[in-house]
A and B are shown apart, each in its own frame.
Chain A
């Protein structure tokens, strides 16, 4: 029954995953370009901005069309509701990637204040979260997202420690101020991406179980 609907929904699901992989790639390559000061890689990331925007509006239109034509219920309705939210979060993640890549231009010809360790580490955690959210979405297995609260907490702590570290460098030498401000911005972007991954996880949890949850880092819980 409703074969056309289910094949279109299945295609939509695949396209959300493709979009998610692109967002993840943009964020990861943005950090890599910053670390390596690789302008070519940064340009690649910036060039993908319009592709992400196009995927966002294309998936949104098709999801709305499915809602209008088939008025789905139960798991199908929850999946489309989840998709409509996920594409917004994935677009934002991609755009943060683009913002970070643009900062790489500012670093051209300048040396990093020190070897970049914390930011790539933070990015690794964030990318892991995005990747696991996509896996949970694809397989409808929520065990991938069960420890998001702890991972989000790690990201928040890293952001804070990067901020403190940058303050030290800035106090040591005011020439560091420009670059350190950029590092703080990047840490902030990554932290936002982790929040978006958590919001996606909440929607995926709803899609799979029908129950709404809030993912807050343990340190924010009363």
Chain B
């Protein structure tokens, strides 16, 4: 029992503020993201949902003039602490972007890239990682027999699943997805959504999406953001069927935004 409590790795976002220069982009956001669940961030453009997502693996560090305050506690550590090295952090908290961005290499090398730079050189071990990652990303059956082919020859949906497989290869605990389906057709989108559902068995997934129906389909919890503030956060069914805050309801029903 004790062991189980220790294993639980929810992400606690505590009073986080983000500034881009003068612009106060995230305002005092406090929320707890549950482990092994899918959490969706929704809200109109510019509401801060992607900014907050990027805080979770310190991607905002790369943006000049971006300043973050507050704490994000994960696995007993405040990951916003400057002493925390973002490189190993990003290994544990991986990310998938809006547009599929495979490396111009073979399918195999795309997946093996991460493990290799983390020091794995043994061919058999790499083979296993590649196969497992492709299985987990529901891509193995489509590409298992042509791992040497260029990743650039895959369809958009396959490329996006390859990027997910690439993120999975370094065994993260949390996967951040920033509009992972916005560049995909409905069939590829459905495959990614099915995959997200599978992924939550082993990973904590946080997804930013503009497609509210998608958030309703894939997530267990939903946070609605507006002008940098977290307006409402709760179980997805409640947020979409019966939001408690008028602003959320107005957004859901297209009365603004």
Contact = CB atoms under 8 A, between A and B. Distances in A.
B257 A74 contact: no
A170 to B, nearest CB: 52
Interface string B211-251: 01100100000000000000000000000111100001100
Interface residues of B, number: 15
B236 to A, nearest CB: 11
Contact of B212 (A6, A73, A75): A73
A117 interface: no
A204 B242 CA distance: 14
A211 B242 contact: yes
Contacts of B29: none
Contacts of A70: 254
B256 A78 contact: no
Main secondary structure of the interface of A (DSSP, over half): helix
B235 to A, nearest CB: 13
Contacts of A209: 242
Given A210-B241, A210-B242, A211-B242, A74 B249 contact: yes
A1 interface: yes
Interface residues of A, number: 16
A55 interface: no
Identify the interface centre among B212, B213, B255, B257: most chain A CB within 10 Å of its CB. Answer: B255
A79 to B, nearest CB: 10
A64 to B, nearest CB: 16
Contacts of A78: 241-242
A5 interface: yes
Given A1-B257, A2-B254, A76-B253, A71 B242 contact: no
B73 interface: no
B125 to A, nearest CB: 46
Contacts of B248: 74
A74 B254 CA distance: 10
A2 B248 CA distance: 16
Contacts of A75: 249, 253
A211 B238 CA distance: 10
B253 A73 contact: yes
A74 B213 contact: no
Contacts of A40: none
A218 interface: no
Interface string A50-83: 0000000000000000000011111111100000
13 contacts: A1-B256, A2-B253, A5-B254, A73-B241, A74-B242, A74-B243, A74-B249, A74-B252, A78-B241, A78-B242, A210-B241, A210-B242, A211-B242
Interface of A: 1-2, 5-6, 70-78, 209-211
Given A74-B243, A78-B242, 6 more contacts: A1-B257, A6-B255, A72-B253, A73-B252, A74-B240, A78-B241
